[in-house]
Amino acid sequence: MHIRNVPKALGLIPDGNRRWARQHSLRFLSGYRLGVDKFIDFADWCKDYGVRNIAVWAFSTENFRRALSERRILFDIYRKVATDKEILGRLHENKTRFNVVGNRLLLPKDLVESLHKVELETKDYKDRVINMLIAYGGKDDMLHAVKGVVDHAVKTGVRNVSENLFRAYMLSNQVPDMDMVIRTSGEERLSGFMPWQTEYSELYFSKKLWPDFTKKDLQNALTDYDKRQRRFGV
């Protein structure tokens, strides 16, 4: 099916992994693992449709409130993904740059090192980008930028703060404005997902739990986007 207008930058909130696991009488680990595998497929589907930039929310600052055992499960999965030769091979094959977005100081050092290694190995690719939001929160992003601008003003004496200056100090400064954001599991809110980049994003909410999301569901979302008229306040 031909879709004329495809979002160049697509945000994803893959919600519903834990609920999916409960519904299938499985451990959280199974839901999270399947959710990660689903995203790997999702990235390929986006490539097929011509989406060049993806920002996926992997772990929020609020998620640190969850039980330590659950956090360890997620971080262990991300460690394995970061060192998976097959996954790295797919990034190279698709000429996709991998970018970590978030407060790395909150994460285990070895996890940060593993993720950063993938960043370094894919840093020269320009065709496609996957931004992994981990230890990320919208308010935290804004506060990080404010602190950076204040330090900049103290050092330089600058008084006027432009959008470009503010954005330069954001944790998500490398992430472009999102044309569209998809959230699964029936929840209809952004929950602090990149407030700066989603000012004029088209929002699409799927009732599917993330592990059940299919390529057809993505096609439905992109078809819906294609029908919308974006005004940007005009």
Known catalytic residue: 17?
no
What is the CB-side half-sphere exposure of residue 60 using CA atoms within 13 A? 17
> Which one from 5, 41, 63, 76 is the annotated catalytic residue?
63
Known catalytic residue: 15?
yes
Distance CA 123, CA 164 (A): 23
Q: Which amino acid is at 2?
A: H
Three-state secondary structure of the chain: CCCCCCCCEEEEECCCHHHHHHHCCCCHHHHHHHHHHHHHHHHHHHHHHCCCEEEEEEEECHHHHCCHHHHHHHHHHHHHHHCCHHHHHHHHHCCEEEEEECCHHHCCHHHHHHHHHHHHHHCCCCCEEEEEEEEECHHHHHHHHHHHHHHHHHHHCCCCCCHHHHHHCCCCCCCCCCCEEEECCCCCCCCCCCCCCCCCCEEEECCCCHHHCCHHHHHHHHHHHHHCCCCCCC
- Return all residues near 187 (Cβ < 8 A) that are at least 6 apart: 13, 15, 205
Catalytic site positions: 15, 63
